[in-house]
Structures are given as C-alpha cells and as structure tokens.
Amino acid sequence: MTTELLLPPRRYGLDDYLAQGGYRVLGAVVADPDLGQAVLARTTLSGLGGAHFSFARKFTAVLDQLAPRAVLCNAAEDEPGSGKDRALLSINPHVVIEGTLIAAAALGATDVVFYVSATSTTELKSLTAALAESGIDLLLPDVEVRVVTAPDRYVAGEASAAINVVDGGEGKPTGQPPYPSERGIGGRPTLVANAETLANLARIIRAAQRGADPVWTRLATVTGDVVAPGVYEIRPDVDTFTTLIARAGGLSGYGELKAVQPGGPSSSFITADAADIAVCDADIRSAGSQPGCLAVRVVATSTCVVEICEEITDFFARQQCGQCPPCRMKTQTYHRTVQQVASGKGSWELLDKLTHVEEFVVDMPRKCSLIDMPTPPVDSARSLFPADFAAHIEHGHCAANLTATPAAH
Ligand SMILES: Cc1cc2nc3c(=O)[nH]c(=O)nc-3n(C[C@H](O)[C@H](O)[C@H](O)COP(=O)(O)O)c2cc1C
Ligand code: SF4
C-alpha cells in the first residue's frame, strides 16, 4: 500500500491536488454526511496540536450539541521550534482546507474559521489563494468561511483564547469549561482542531472507504544541533529519533548526541541512549517524555542543558498572560531560579525550592495549562544531566564539552 503524504515535494496548487484525488472525499461527505460521521466518530486519531485528545471524542461531543455548529482550524503555531502547520499551509494548503471542510460537512457546521498567526504572511497568502481557487463556495454555499489572524502571542493559540479572538476579544484563555464543544464561536458548539489533525481527515475517510487503516505519517519539526533543521514527514511505526536526526543531516556542532526533547519546550528531555525508540506517542511516553506537537529539539554534548532551560523558562515567564496569579508566580520563579543557576549564582537548595513552588500552586485555579509547562523540561534536565547543573553551581560555568572534535556527519 502506498503512503499518502501530507507534504508533497513541492507546493500543490488546486490542479496538483485534484490530480491526486483531492476534494473527492469532501464531495462524498457533502453528499452523505453520515459517511463522515461514521468514520470520524471512531477514528483513532488523536489531536496533533499538543494535547493528544481523542479526535473522535471531540467530534462526537460537538455532534451531540444542537446546531448551528462551527469548526476552527488552529494554525496559530507560536510554539518555539514548531513549523509543521506553517509548512502545511505553504506547501499543501488544500489538504488542510479539505480536512477542515470535511469536518464541517460531517457536523453540518455553518461557520468555518482558519486561525493563522498574523506573523505567518507567506502562509496566509498561500491559504487565501488556495481558498479563492477551491470553489468551496459552490460546494458549500451555506457555510461562511473566514480567515482570522491570531495575535503574535503563544497563549493566543490555546483553544478558548482562539475563540475569544474570533469573537473580537484580545486572545487570552477564558478557561474551560465551558468547552468549545459546548460553547465556542458566537456561542456555537465548535470543533477546535489543529491544522495537521484536520489534514489527516481526507486520508482517514479514503482508507475507510477501502476498508483499511490509513498508513499514518506525522510531521516532525527538527531544530537544535542538526545540520538541516526543518519539517520532516515521518512514519511513526518505522522512524526512530536516530533516523530522524540522520534525515536532518546529522549532528552539527561538536560532540555526540546528548539528548532529545521530543515534544516542544514543555516536554521532558530523553537521553541519547533512548534515541533508537520509534518517533511514536507510545514510545515517547514510555521513555518518560511527551510527544506534544513533535517539535523535536536535538542536543549535542557541546550544548548545556542549563542554558536551554534558561531559554525555555524565559519563554514561559514572558508568554504567561498575567491573568492567573499562581501562573505568574510559578513561571517567574522558575525563570529567576534557572537564570541564577546559569549565571553561577545558584545553589542546589535554590533548585530544591522549585518543588515547594509546585506544591504551592498545584490546587490553585488557572485558565490554561501553560502554568504546568516549565516543569517537565527543568525536572528532567536536572535529573538526567546533574553534571551540567553541578558545573554552573559549583564552578560557575558550563560543563558542555566545547573542545570536543566535530561530530561525524
Ligand atoms: C498556551 C497554549 C498554546 C497553544 N497553542 C496552540 C497552537 O498554536 N496550535 C494548536 O493547534 N493548538 C494549540 N494549543 C492547544 C489548543 O488549546 C487545542 O488543544 C488544540 O488546538 C486542539 O487541536 P487538536 O485536538 O487537533 O490538537 C495550545 C494550548 C496552550 C495551553
Ligand atoms: S495559566 Fe498562565 S498563561 Fe494560562 S491563562 Fe492563566 S496566566 Fe495566562
């Protein structure tokens, strides 16, 4: 069976997409929404925006609510190190459009929003051009399709913040419940799904029509100490982190592989000896990390994890939106502490105090999960790479092996 790729080797316009059988599934679901409902209500796909919630459960939750309904395709993608949604919009915009409209047709939704970062100018142009040439207004005349730009702020990608922007707000999380499936855009039950999640829907239904399971692929964005950072389409049942790093040109800089952070800045590090695990959710979880949006950071021995933790905690401290006092306190304390350690002014006792911060905020109300995000990277870095922390604490500088020979490519 051939693997249907999400990212073709060059940009697909409408003619290319149609030549691959594009928009046939949408036509079938418009003609028979029950077909879409039957397949999407039992797909094993989990959301690829980071939280990995079951798509089928979310789809069914929206379907169970009264019409009118809405669909929001989330391509805000402000997570550092992630570029997969932008790659989809610029290279294969029609696969995202078709998937989003399949969900809309199956749900009988009357509102569709493509939510894209205002900073993604190339991708916005590509999406707008694809929408204009798609002819969807003829296929779905009763559906209002809009492109709404997301503010350049990490939390604006969170589901309730996205709905808030679409409804004219400033783009801060409003808290859940009510869940978007109950009360979303304009008060309508809304399916909020990531752009890559939705890009899978056409091939899922095509496979079901053949009586088969789709051959899954996923988009991994590789950054860090590699020769060719970028977005790579992988087979989770075949590719390992070792093969993924090889596809990204191998290690750059100096030294050997030290660690991988598989799921973006909020995920735990795994050590080099775990690099032969498959790039799949189950193996990543078994190795003690989280798959997130598969923004894979590769770390060579020449790089200090304390410095990476400083960068990560700085990001979360700056990006927390200030609505929830415990989040403000926790993210800023994490950053101050790691910064002190990195600058040679920290201590083990100071690091230990982070546990108390954690215990202090654990039951306090918060409107989104950003508050939890600094913990896995810092905890895992400390327990897996104590020598890096010891060097900063005891000797005031990095332990990273800056004098090692260049990595063999
Ligand atoms: C701080 C924060 C930022 C987020 N940013 C994004 C984003 O840019 N894109 C995205 O798809 N999901 C983002 N999410 C997750 C969304 O809340 C939501 O779970 C997701 O869009 C649902 O799609 P999925 O089920 O297909 O993953 C973010 C969540 C949080 C807490
Ligand atoms: S948890 Fe943090 S980022 Fe999320 S809404 Fe509250 S203050 Fe903002």
User: Is the shortest distance between the CB of 150 and ligand 1 below 6 Å?
Assistant: no
218-300 to CATH, choices 3.10.20.600, 3.40.50.300, 3.30.930.10, 3.10.105.10 = 3.10.20.600
From the list 230, 251, 371, the residue with the least C-alpha distance to 296 is: 230
* Mean pLDDT computed over 274-284: 96
Question: pLDDT at residue 398 above 90?
Answer: no
Q: What is the DSSP letter of 68?
A: P
Question: pLDDT at residue 401 above 50?
Answer: no
- CA 401 to ligand 1 center in whole angstroms: 36
From the list 95, 79, 87, 97, the residue with the least C-alpha distance to 122 is: 87
Q: Which numbered atom of ligand 1 lies nearest the CA of 368?
A: 31
* Mean pLDDT computed over 20-36: 97
State residue 186's pLDDT score. Answer: 97
* Mean pLDDT computed over 132-142: 92
pLDDT digits (tens, 9 = 90+) for 357-381: 988 888 888 999 999 999 999 999 9
Burial (Cβ within 10 Å: 0-12, 13-18, ≥19) of residue 309: buried
State residue 254's pLDDT score. Answer: 77
Rounded to the nearest angstrom, the gap between the alpha carbon of residue 84 and the centroid of all alpha carbons in its chain is 8
The SS3 assignment for 332 reads helix
- Specify whether the CB–CB gap between 75 and 195 falls below 8 A: yes
Break the chain into its structural domains and give their ranges: 14-209, 218-300, 305-395
DSSP 70-86: EEEEEE---STT--HHH
State residue 404's pLDDT score. Answer: 40
Residues in the chain: 409
* Mean pLDDT computed over 29-50: 96
CA distances from 219 to 7, 80, 87, 331 (A): 8, 15, 9, 29
Tell me the sheet residues that pair with 223: 297
pLDDT digits (tens, 9 = 90+) for 195-230: 999 999 999 999 999 998 889 999 999 999 999 999
CA distance 231 to 398: 30
Q: What does the block give as tokens for 309?
A: 């933790």
Q: Write out the CATH class of domain 305-395.
A: mainly alpha
Q: How confident is the model at residue 1 (pLDDT cuts 50, 70, 90)?
A: low
Which residues in 235-388 belong to E strands, given as ranges? 257-261, 270-271, 295-300
Is the C-alpha dihedral spanning 279, 76, 305, 321 positive or negative?
A: negative
Question: pLDDT at residue 409 above 70?
Answer: no
Task: Compute φ and ψ for 239, nearest 5 degrees.
Answer: -75, 145
Question: pLDDT at residue 267 above 90?
Answer: yes
User: Is the shortest distance between the CB of 25 and ligand 1 below 6 Å?
Assistant: no
State residue 253's pLDDT score. Answer: 74
Question: pLDDT at residue 6 above 70?
Answer: yes
From the list 307, 328, 308, the residue with the least C-alpha distance to 319 is: 328
The SS3 assignment for 120 reads coil
Question: What does the mean pLDDT of the chain come to?
Answer: 94
Residues contacting residue 358 through CB under 8 Å, at least 6 positions apart = 330, 375
% of the chain exceeding 90 in pLDDT: 89
pLDDT digits (tens, 9 = 90+) for 222-244: 999 999 999 999 999 999 999 99
Note whether 14-209 and 305-395 share their fold: no
- CA 218 to ligand 2 center in whole angstroms: 29
Tell me the sheet residues that pair with 406: 254
Q: How confident is the model at residue 400 (pLDDT cuts 50, 70, 90)?
A: low
Q: How confident is the model at residue 3 (pLDDT cuts 50, 70, 90)?
A: confident
* Mean pLDDT computed over 315-320: 98
Residues contacting residue 32 through CB under 8 Å, at least 6 positions apart = none
Task: Compute φ and ψ for 213, nearest 5 degrees.
Answer: -90, 145
- CA 391 to ligand 2 center in whole angstroms: 33
Question: pLDDT at residue 4 above 60?
Answer: yes
Taking phi over 0 as left and psi of -120 to 50 as alpha, with beta for the rest, 248 belongs to: alpha
Q: Which numbered atom of ligand 2 lies nearest the CA of 322?
A: 7
Question: pLDDT at residue 403 above 60?
Answer: no
User: Pocket of ligand 1, candidates 74, 88, 113, 331: which has the most ligand atoms within 8 Å of its Cβ, to mutate?
Assistant: 74
CA distance 18 to 380: 46
Residue range 14-209 in CATH 3.40.50.720: no
Q: Which numbered atom of ligand 2 lies nearest the CA of 328?
A: 7
State residue 408's pLDDT score. Answer: 41
**Long-range Cβ contact pairs of 337-340 (< 8 A, separation 24 or more):** 337/313, 338/306, 338/309, 338/310, 338/313, 338/378, 339/310, 339/313, 339/314
Helices (H) and strands (E) in the chain, counts: 18, 9
From the list 247, 277, 250, the residue with the least C-alpha distance to 262 is: 277
Question: pLDDT at residue 272 above 70?
Answer: yes
pLDDT digits (tens, 9 = 90+) for 139-194: 899 999 999 999 999 999 999 999 999 999 999 999 989 999 999 999 999 999 99
State residue 224's pLDDT score. Answer: 97
State residue 405's pLDDT score. Answer: 41
